[in-house]
Every structure is written in C-alpha cells, then in structure tokens.
C-alpha cells in the first residue's frame, strides 16, 4: 500500500550540501524560503497512512528500506509535508522528526521525479 506519493517541484539551491551529509530534508510548498534553500520541495500534502520501520522509500529508480521513524515524523509529514530523511543505516535518532534509512548513496534528483513511500 502506498503511504505517500509526491512529485519534486523544486530543489533548493543548497540541497546538495545536505545530500553530501547523507540527508534529505523534505518540505511541501508552504516552507519558508530559508528552508526551501536546503530542502527538496514536493507537491504532496502528507501521508495517507503512518510511515513505519520496514516500509520503503523510492527516489527515482532507487529504493531504500526505512529503519526508524521518529516520534513526530508522521505528524510533521502529515501537517507540513516535512521530515528529515537520514540515509545513515541507523535504527535510532535523538531527533524526533527524523526518518532513518539504509545507507546507500542518494541518487541525483530532478524536478518532476516522484517520491513514493510504501509498505513492503
């Protein structure tokens, strides 16, 4: 079942800096400009079902297993279309809005690409 399907509408001018740190900061189009600069902006309004460890996120043609979902990540995804995705292979984080995924290189992203989160 798909939990989120969204399309990238803008790549912040400094998002590559976040990518180099194995992170992707996702916001919907309501994000303030200072956050848009470091974020991947999408047209989605939120999640259909709560995201959970064991789900998969697809960026372009690359899929990543979700290993951890912070306490408020589903709430911020629902309300703001926002979460910080950390591709570090960890199964925990001290930051409640973080989603940790398996450690793999984040692919090149471009406007018009889809982001999909679904259960296995």
pLDDT tens digits for 51-74? Answer: 999 999 999 899 999 999 999 999
Contact between 64 and 56 (Cβ < 8 Å):
yes
pLDDT digits (tens, 9 = 90+) for 30-54: 999 999 999 999 998 667 899 999 9
pLDDT digits (tens, 9 = 90+) for 92-120: 999 999 999 999 999 999 999 999 999 97
Task: Give the Cα separation of 86 and 4 in Å (integer).
Answer: 17
Q: Report phi then psi at 108, rounded to 5.
A: -65, 135
pLDDT digits (tens, 9 = 90+) for 10-22: 999 999 999 999 9
DSSP 76: H
pLDDT for 47 equals 79
pLDDT for 56 equals 98
Say which residue the tokens 């984080």 belong to: 93
Q: Please give the class, per CATH, of domain 2-118.
A: mainly beta
């Amino acid at each position: 079942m798909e939990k989120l399907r969204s399309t990238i509408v803008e790549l912040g001018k400094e998002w590559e800096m976040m990518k180099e740190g194995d992170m992707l900061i996702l916001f919907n189009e309501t994000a303030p400009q200072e956050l848009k600069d470091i974020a991947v902006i999408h047209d989605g309004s939120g999640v259909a079902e709560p995201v959970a460890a064991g789900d998969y996120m697809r960026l372009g043609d690359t899929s990543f297993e979700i290993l951890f979902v912070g306490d408020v990540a589903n709430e911020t995804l629902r309300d703001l279309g926002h979460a910080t995705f950390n591709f570090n292979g960890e199964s925990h984080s001290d930051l409640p809005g973080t989603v940790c995924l398996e450690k793999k290189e984040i692919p090149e992203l471009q406007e018009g690409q889809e982001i999909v989160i679904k259960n296995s």
